[in-house]
Amino acid sequence: MGDYIVLAISCILINNILLAQYLGNCPFLGTSKKMETAVGMAMAVVFVLVLAGVITWIVNTFILQRFGLEYLRTLSFILVIAALVQFVEMFLKKSIPALYAGLGIFLPLITTNCAVMGVCLINVNEEYTFLQALVTSFSYAVGFGLALILFAGVRERILLARVPKPLQDTSIALVTAGILSLTFFAFKGMV
Amino acid sequence: MIEAILVMFGIGAACGLTLSVASKVFYVYEDPRIAEVEWHMAGANCGGCGYAGCSAAAVAVVEGKAPPSACVITDTESAINIAAIMGVDPGSAEALISSNTCLGGNRADDKYHYMGVNSCQALDAFYGGKRVCSIGCLGLGDCIKACNFDAIAIGPNGYPVVDENKCVGCGACEKVCPKNILTVRTMSQRLLHFNEEDDALAPCRQTCPAEIDIPLYISQIKDGDYEGAVHTIRERNPLLLSCGRVCPHPCESYCRRSIEDEPVSINQLKRFVADLEMNSGKRLPIPCAPDTGKRIAVVGGGPAGLSCAYFLRRLGHEVTIYEAMPEMGGIIRYGIPEYRLPQKVLAWEIEGILNLGIEHHTNMRLGVDFDLDSLITKGFDAIFLGVGAWNDYNLKIEGEDLKGSFKGIDFLSRVASGEKVPIGRRAAVIGGGNSAIDCVRTLVRLGAKEVYIVYRRTRKEMPANEVEIVAAEHEGIKFHFLAAPVSVVGDDNGNVTHLEYLKMELGEPDASGRRRPVTIEGSETLMEIDMLITAIGQTPDVSFTQKERRLEDLEITRWKTIDNNPETLQSSIPYIFTGGDSATGPSLVVTAIGGGRRAAASIHQYLSGEPVEPPEKSLFQKHIKESIFDSVDGVKKTPRAEMPELEVKERIKSMDEVDLVLDEKDAIYESKRCLSCCRLCYNRDEIAQSN
Ligand SMILES: Cc1cc2nc3c(=O)[nH]c(=O)nc-3n(C[C@H](O)[C@H](O)[C@H](O)COP(=O)(O)OP(=O)(O)OC[C@H]3O[C@@H](n4cnc5c(N)ncnc54)[C@H](O)[C@@H]3O)c2cc1C
Ligand code: SF4
């Protein structure tokens, strides 16, 4: 049990997918202008990432490894994740329309997100067990959400600040992201 | 290798199969219109519309939660296409455009030196800004940061300028502006706006009964944007050629420049751009909102009726005008004589209005040729009554109907219809208003040798336009003030020979401080004349109300006007609206035009099922106290541009137009005299330059 907690903490804080590994940058900059969008995006990522982590683990263990075709990982993962997201979208629309309305456009947007892809590959590279893969996928997603929401909060404040012309908008956002990631470095060495 | 291909193929096939099964199992009926609507949207998933992406917006449109114009990026055409898919009124499919109402908050004085955060919202949090002006632009450009489309920039004068080609009307700038300086409106919304207490209004603009944005059109003239000036005027006044000639310009009396100097020649500038358009031979296009399918009948084709029809048409309604006389125009066609407003000019102006697609029928008098019942059967949704005030008052003295005795409007309209009215040698006109002056000046031109004005009070009290009185004096009219007619004397053949009147003197001041004239006993005087015109005022002719049951509930006031709510112009019958002289009693052309727009706005509310009421903070026939100054510093006296006019000797020989138009050089000179006022601020820099 303790192991899983350590694993979760390291995924959320220490190896934060956004701020420590710098994966999934486009939605990080694109959907962090407004708190509302950031929250929606974070939820969608949790949802998709958990499903993708699980399914790619299964594909890897039961198909690729069995036939010794590990080099096809990236290709097959893309295919599987894309189909999965489409499937989930249809399923939600029919069965849980309320959830569908909430996650709205965010679902298709993260189909081929590098954070999703990255986590799936990490799971496989680290040779996690099924349960471990489940925990890491969930935790990485939570870490993504945490960073995104923190960042959106900061960006909303920045709107009120006096930013020198050449640094406005995306430039200042990147600088901010850098500082935010420095603060996450403080977690390094915790476990 | 074979294995790899087989496995990939297997995974692909499995995914495909699952998805196709899923699409069957999880099939949800989706309105096919959603896909069609989405096709017309930009597909950028930008969220500018307030929905989570284009498909969500398309759903909202199909569910009727969003207007066809929801997408902020596409053009009007797509909105119209979407409206067509939905089969709804595309009225809302008009482009939204942001515009800035403040022409330079920087010109107001500073209250303190601000060194805080570079944001209007932050600055606004401190005492509402750093300037003494409580409503003006703060100039730190929150709107610029908010605009995702790069459509706003700070202009040379330190306030935001909107690039209309880039603006998509998303409303982001309006949301961040703490001062309501940037407003995102459709054309219809702009046409429907009336002055409000917290608008950025110059004193002249508060005074104009048509609420024209005067400083804006003057600054457009200054910048050489004459077309822009015409458009600005047309947003409030469709009769700019006529008003530019006959308006007594109440705005000029409140011009801030007049506190230290002569007022800006506001009306001459209007005439300058209006004439320019006419003489260019090319009509500037006037945009109209998409059709709404509502139909309105306008009774009376005078300024009020024309203005109401024009604004309703621009709002997308279908309008039909019914006019009693053979020609449209009302008093400005049949009362105001040719030498003040040539019929050719008026005809050109009216044609432009009717060209918008307004149907009109002349020689159709309500109560005689048709009745209200027939309008209702024809399926009109609302009715505007702008029948003017054409019934001349009687003097109620003996001999009034002898041969050679006329009534003002009757005389003028017969002359204007081209009838040869017998003109005497010595003619007297009783009255002191515009009609009286128009009668005397017409008489002089038609060959009368001696023309008198007989008026009960003194020159100071004459209600006619000052310039008109001066022109009449120049043309050799003799004025008899303080004279009260008692009878008209005739010879055996029943022809007028004399007018008998009593002399008066000014008595003690009454409660209002005015000295009332009182008759001097035994001062009867005979004046030798062979023609007499009484022009002592008019009332509306509302005889049509007695002709049908339906109109029994239409309340009429003591002055024979149609009773109405002065701000909404709705009558006692909810679907009947009125305006112009028939609502206010004899007044001005601009008042009738303003009333026409007011009634159009109320009719628009009525037809959209909204309550018919004025805006909450409406500024109607009032001034904003803080904007009326006692003194203006820094104004150097510069004479007003002289209006050219025909020589007196020349002009009394014909009906040719007397007042001429400013030339371009003078117009630009005059436009530079404008201080570009708002509530508190005015153009000091400009003054400094001209010094
Ligand atoms: C001689 C004179 C000079 C003036 N000079 C000036 C001036 O210099 N500047 C200024 O600002 N104002 C001036 N005015 C005032 C100005 O002309 C009026 O205030 C203005 O025309 C009012 O417009 P209206 O549309 O309300 O009425 P009108 O112009 O009177 O139009 C009413 C129309 O309704 C029609 N009508 C009437 N009854 C019926 C019916 N039963 N059925 C169908 N149609 C009907 C009439 O034929 C007419 O065309 C002057 C007025 C007069 C009389
Ligand atoms: S100076 Fe210009 S803006 Fe100011 S009151 Fe006169 S006309 Fe209006």
The 3-state secondary structure of B206-237 reads: HHCCCCCCHHHHHHHHHCCCHHHHHHHHHCCC
DSSP reduced 3-state for B528: strand
**Whether A183 contacts chain B with CB within 8 A:** no
Evaluate whether B317 touches B600 at the Cβ level (below 8 Å): no
B616/B607 Cα distance (integer angstroms):
20
Q: Scanning the structure block, which residue is given the tokens 């050449």?
A: A166
Q: What is the pLDDT of residues A94-124, one digit of tens each?
A: 877 777 766 666 676 676 678 888 999 998 8
Chain B residues with CB-CB distance to A95 below 8 A: 26
Q: Scanning the structure block, which residue is given the tokens 């939204």?
A: B96
**How many CA atoms within 13 Å lie on the side-chain side of B173?**
31
Per-residue pLDDT, averaged over A119-138, amounts to 90
Tell me the backbone φ, ψ of residue B528, rounded to 5 degrees: -85, 120
**How many CA atoms within 13 Å lie on the side-chain side of B316?**
19
Arch. (CATH architecture) of B94-185: 2-Layer Sandwich (3.30)
- Per DSSP, the residues of B156-205 read TTSSEEE-TTT-----HHHHH-TTS-EEEE-HHHHHT---BTTS---HHH
How far B28 CA sits from the closest chain A CA (Å)?
6
As a whole number, the mean pLDDT across chain B is 88
* Residue B361: per-residue pLDDT: 96
Please name which ligand lies nearest the alpha carbon of B213.
Answer: 2
Where along chain A do its domains lie?
2-189
B28 contacts A63? CB cut-off 8 A: no
Using only the alpha carbons of chain B, give its radius of gyration: 31
Q: Scanning the structure block, which residue is given the tokens 């996928």?
A: A137
Range of lowest pLDDT (B420-429, B433-442, B633-642) = B633-642
Q: What is the pLDDT of residues B276-297, one digit of tens each?
A: 999 998 999 998 888 888 999 9
Would you state the torsion angle of the CA atoms of residues B311, B313, B319, B324, taken in this order, to the nearest 10 degrees? 50
* Residue B47: per-residue pLDDT: 59
B599/B322 Cα distance (integer angstroms):
17
A93 contacts B8? CB cut-off 8 A: no
Token duo for residue A171: 């430039």
Q: Which residues share a beta bridge with B122?
A: none
Q: What is the pLDDT of residues A141-187, one digit of tens each?
A: 999 999 999 998 998 888 777 788 788 778 888 899 999 889 888 88
For residue B91, name the pLDDT band (cuts at 50, 70, 90): very low
B212/A50 Cα distance (integer angstroms):
63
DSSP reduced 3-state for B301: coil
**Whether B17 contacts chain A with CB within 8 A:** no
Evaluate whether B327 touches B612 at the Cβ level (below 8 Å): no
How far A116 CA sits from the closest chain B CA (Å)?
18
Per-residue pLDDT, averaged over B236-252, amounts to 95
The reply to whether domains B199-287+623-691 and B295-390+559-607 share a CATH topology is: no
B471/B473 Cα distance (integer angstroms):
5
Token duo for residue A77: 């993962």
Max mean pLDDT range (A43-47, B511-515, B537-541)? B537-541
Residue from B498, B622, B579, B550 nearest B311 by CA? B579
A54/A48 Cα distance (integer angstroms):
10
Indicate whether B107 pLDDT > 80.
no
Indicate whether B689 pLDDT > 70.
no
Indicate whether B244 pLDDT > 70.
yes
Token duo for residue B632: 């203006």
B62/A79 Cα distance (integer angstroms):
33
Q: How far is CA B473 from CA B427, B466, B645, in A?
A: 16, 11, 15
Q: Which residue type is seen at B538?
A: Q
By Cβ distance, the residue of B3, B11, B52 closest to A76 is: B11
Q: Which atom of ligand 1 is closest in space to residue B538's alpha carbon?
A: 53
Indicate whether B203 pLDDT > 60.
yes
A104/B56 Cα distance (integer angstroms):
7
**Whether A104 contacts chain B with CB within 8 A:** yes
B47 contacts A37? CB cut-off 8 A: yes
**DSSP conformation class of B478:** E
Which CATH code, of 2.120.10, 1.10.1060, 1.10.10, 1.10.3470, is assigned to B199-287+623-691?
A: 1.10.1060
The CATH homologous superfamily of the domain defined by B295-390+559-607 = FAD/NAD(P)-binding domain (3.50.50.60)
Residue from B42, B85, B104 nearest B677 by CA? B104
The distance from CA B397 to its chain's CA centroid, rounded to whole angstroms, is 40
Give the list of residues 6+ apart from residue B143 with CB closer than 8 angstroms, or none: B120, B152, B160, B172, B173, B176, B177, B182
Measured from the CB, is residue B264 less than 6 Å from ligand 2? yes
Burial B135-146 (b: 16+ CB within 10 A, else e): bbbbbbbbbbbb
Q: How many residues does chain A have?
A: 191
Range of lowest pLDDT (B107-111, B344-348, B571-575) = B107-111
Indicate whether B370 pLDDT > 80.
yes
B126 in the Ramachandran plot: left (φ > 0), alpha (ψ -120 to 50) or beta? Answer: beta
* Residue B356: per-residue pLDDT: 94
B8 contacts A75? CB cut-off 8 A: yes
The residue of B15, B20, B55, B142 whose CB has the most chain A CBs within 10 angstroms, and thus the best one to mutate to test that interface, is B15
B467/B248 Cα distance (integer angstroms):
8
CA of B437 to the centre of ligand 2 (A): 29
CA of B264 to the centre of ligand 2 (A): 7
Q: Which residues line ligand 1 (CB under 6 A)?
A: B 246-248, 299-305, 322-325, 330-332, 335-336, 365-367, 386-388, 390, 409, 412, 434-435, 438, 465, 541, 544, 580-582, 586-590, 592
Residue from B110, B115, B111, B167 nearest B144 by CA? B167
Residue with more model confidence, B144 or B443: B443
* Residue A96: per-residue pLDDT: 75
Indicate whether B64 pLDDT > 70.
no
Token duo for residue B89: 């009124």
Question: Structure pTM?
Answer: 0.73
Indicate whether B89 pLDDT > 60.
no
Where along chain B do its domains lie?
2-92, 94-185, 199-287+623-691, 295-390+559-607, 392-539
Per-residue pLDDT, averaged over B376-403, amounts to 91
Q: Which residue type is seen at A71?
A: Y
A160 contacts B11? CB cut-off 8 A: no
Give the list of residues 6+ apart from residue A30 with CB closer than 8 angstroms, or none: none
Per-residue pLDDT, averaged over B528-552, amounts to 91
Strands B382-385 vs B182-185: parallel, antiparallel or unpaired: unpaired
Please name which ligand lies nearest the alpha carbon of B268.
Answer: 2
Indicate whether B627 pLDDT > 60.
yes
* Residue B90: per-residue pLDDT: 44
Max mean pLDDT range (B37-46, B57-66, B195-204)? B195-204
Indicate whether B626 pLDDT > 90.
no
Burial status of residue B665 (CB atoms within 10 A of its CB: 0-12, 13-18, 19 or more)? exposed
Alpha helices in chain A (DSSP H): 2-9, 25-30, 35-58, 65-67, 73-95, 97-103, 106-109, 114-125, 130-158, 170-185
Indicate whether B676 pLDDT > 80.
yes
* Residue B691: per-residue pLDDT: 43
Per-residue pLDDT, averaged over B316-321, amounts to 95
* Residue B548: per-residue pLDDT: 85
Give the list of residues 6+ apart from residue A111 with CB closer than 8 angstroms, or none: A48, A81, A82, A85, A86
B301/B409 Cα distance (integer angstroms):
16
Residue from B455, B299, B444, B463 nearest B386 by CA? B299
Arch. (CATH architecture) of B392-539: 3-Layer(bba) Sandwich (3.50)
Tell me the backbone φ, ψ of residue B618, rounded to 5 degrees: -65, 140
Range of lowest pLDDT (A151-155, B126-130, B522-526) = B126-130
* Residue B42: per-residue pLDDT: 75
Indicate whether B45 pLDDT > 70.
no
A162 contacts B26? CB cut-off 8 A: no
B386/B123 Cα distance (integer angstroms):
49
Token duo for residue B582: 């028939």
**Interface pTM (ipTM) of the complex?**
0.76
Indicate whether B389 pLDDT > 60.
yes
B297/B302 Cα distance (integer angstroms):
14
* Residue B330: per-residue pLDDT: 95
For residue B92, name the pLDDT band (cuts at 50, 70, 90): very low
Indicate whether B328 pLDDT > 80.
yes
Q: How far is CA B469 from CA A33, B103, B250, B457, B591, in A?
A: 67, 37, 16, 14, 21
**How many CA atoms within 13 Å lie on the side-chain side of B393?**
17
Percent of chain B with pLDDT strictly greater than 90: 52
* Residue A41: per-residue pLDDT: 81
Per-residue pLDDT, averaged over B301-310, amounts to 97
Residue with more model confidence, A169 or B598: B598
Indicate whether B446 pLDDT > 80.
yes
CB count within 10 Å of CB B408 equals 25
For residue B443, name the pLDDT band (cuts at 50, 70, 90): very high
* Euclidean distance between the first and the last CA atom of chain A, given in angstroms as a whole number: 15
Residue from B577, B632, B634 nearest B600 by CA? B577
CB count within 10 Å of CB B634 equals 15
Would you state the torsion angle of the CA atoms of residues B107, B112, B115, B116, taken in this order, to the nearest 10 degrees? -100
As a whole number, the mean pLDDT across chain A is 84
Range of lowest pLDDT (A72-86, B414-428, B552-566) = A72-86
Residue with more model confidence, B59 or B424: B424
Q: How many residues does chain B have?
A: 691
